[in-house]
Amino acid sequence: MPYFELTGGVPLYYEDHGNGAPVVLLHGWTMNSTFWGDNVPALAAGNRVITVDLRGHGSSGKTPEGHTLGQYARDVRALIEHLELDHVALVGWSMGTDVILWYVHQYGCDRLRSAVFVDQSPRFLNADDWDFPLLGNYTRTDLAVFAQTVRHARPDAIKPFIAACFAEPPTSDVIDAVYAETTKTPTEAALSVWMDMAHADLRPLLPQVTVPVLLAYGRRSKVFPGDLAGLLAEALPDARSVRFEHSGHVPFAEEAERFNEVLAEFLAKPE
């Protein structure tokens, strides 16, 4: 299994599939690269597809330090440099989108050719000037209750959140299987990056993403309800949105075949 050692000795697990223009897939909070299982074979037919487990997630090192969006972005940059990649397409699901925004904040669009945002909001907490918080209305009280529940009764917080990610209610077996993968991220690491993400307001970073962006959003998302994709398409310099009619927060799994076709078409466009 391929590992790359980050500064400080943290092993970062990644997989490298196919040949062609490089595509790096970035997973969501407490998830890992296994969730791209329905996408990698199709995308690798015409691209070099790299999946990675961010630090503290999946098969990567379980360090107690560095669980911020900024550090995750630096880790992605280190992997890109290690593999000597250029003209990279970064695909971020949920938290992975925030990692892309932090990458751009720290490095500009250096080494990037495009980006894909998959069902993520640049701001979690509600505000008078913001119509797209987490779950439609995420208050600081909600955040505090969620954090305490994760710390003291983790399944009670995470399993309902997993269920909310799908347009149609998943079976208990699916919820349990996904939850088992999330437990690979230690609780304190999970909470550290969650709090960083929840308190962030990344809207000012959107104009800095000057490469083409594909917005892949679930029409039936309960995690971010409403036409968030439409707002982001206006805020980003070069973006187009595709709504997945039968999907919630995970269109790459709920409508894998269409997602793969849409993404492959986007990736095939000339720079």
71-76 LR contacts (CB < 8 Å, sep 24+): 72/99, 72/102, 72/193, 73/99, 73/100, 73/102, 73/103, 73/105, 73/106, 73/107, 74/106, 75/6, 75/10, 75/12, 76/24, 76/26, 76/52, 76/103
pLDDT band at 24 (very low <50, low <70, confident <90, very high): very high
CATH number for the domain including 136? 3.40.50.1820
Q: Which residues contact 159 (CB under 8 A, 6 or more apart)?
A: 175, 179
Q: Is the pTM of this model over 0.85?
A: yes
- Percent with pLDDT over 90 in the chain: 98
What's the confidence (pLDDT) of residue 1?
A: 61
State the maximum Cα–Cα separation within the chain, in Å, rounded to a whole number. Answer: 50
Cβ–Cβ under 8 Å, residues 93 and 27: yes
Region 68-97 average pLDDT: 98
Q: Strand pairing of 47-52 and 21-26?
A: parallel
Question: Coil, strand or helix: which one is 56?
Answer: coil
pLDDT digits (tens, 9 = 90+) for 154-193: 999 999 999 999 999 999 999 999 999 999 999 999 999 9
pLDDT of 271 strictly over 80: no
Four-residue CA torsion sign, 217, 251, 174, 50: negative
What is the domain range of residue 182? 3-268
Number of domains the chain contains: 1
What's the confidence (pLDDT) of residue 35?
A: 98
